């Protein structure tokens, strides 16, 4: 089990790496890496049906966690930090479904709350992201339609190692 102090220390070390790479923000989508940085444990709800989530870490210290509403309800195997705890500035949720019927396009719902939350945010010019798990529409939502997109692919591993794969565009 991770500790709050350990998660805060990992976030600080990651921000040092972000500053060295001149990144404005990093988008982390793998639930294991989100757990590593925040202590938020949100396992896949059903095998083969991943529910998209996003941890958005800004170089200035702000950290936003975007999850589905079913996870926000908590439960036996889900742990989500409250706003301000474990280094998470704010947790935002999208509706995973209505009347127990799952929405078939969770990624679009995730994009909607990202765009809504970041509408008045300082534009992200250089975004580090996990190449293996980052849908393009999520990247566009983070930088905004008017933003100059400079993506830097990074791989985040559980031990905190970073692999800089290079600029995408």
Q: Which residue has the higher pLDDT, 69 or 27?
A: 27
- The residue among 144, 160, 156, 135 whose CA lies nearest residue 26 is 156
> Would you say 115 and 77 are in contact if contact means Cβ atoms under 8 Å apart?
no
CATH architecture of the domain with residue range 4-167: 3-Layer(aba) Sandwich (3.40)
The structural domains of the chain, with segments of one domain joined by +, span 4-167
Instruction: Identify the DSSP state of 122.
Output: P
> Who's near 146: CB < 8 A, 6+ residues apart?
123
pLDDT band at 63 (very low <50, low <70, confident <90, very high): very high
Rounded-to-integer distance, Cα 49 and Cα 11, Å: 28
Report field, pTM of the whole predicted structure over 0.85: no
pLDDT number for residue 166: 45
Q: What digits encode the pLDDT tens for the residues 111-164? A: 888 888 888 888 888 888 776 667 777 877 776 654 545 555 555 544 444 444
């Amino acid at each position: 089990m991770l500790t709050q102090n350990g998660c805060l220390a990992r976030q600080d070390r990651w921000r040092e790496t972000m500053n060295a790479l001149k990144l404005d923000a990093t988008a982390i989508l793998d639930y294991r890496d989100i757990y590593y940085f925040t202590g938020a444990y949100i396992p896949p709800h059903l095998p083969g049906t991943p529910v998209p989530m996003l941890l958005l870490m800004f170089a200035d210290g702000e950290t936003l966690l975007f999850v589905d509403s079913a996870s926000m309800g908590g439960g036996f195997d889900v742990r989500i930090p409250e706003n301000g705890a474990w280094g998470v500035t704010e947790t935002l949720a999208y509706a995973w479904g209505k009347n127990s019927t799952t929405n078939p396009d969770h990624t679009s719902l995730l994009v909607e709350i990202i765009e809504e939350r970041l509408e008045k945010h300082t534009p992200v010019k250089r975004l580090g992201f996990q190449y293996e798990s980052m849908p393009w529409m999520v990247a566009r939502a983070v930088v905004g339609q008017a933003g100059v997109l400079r993506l830097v692919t990074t791989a985040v591993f559980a031990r905190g190692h970073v692999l800089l794969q290079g600029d995408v565009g």
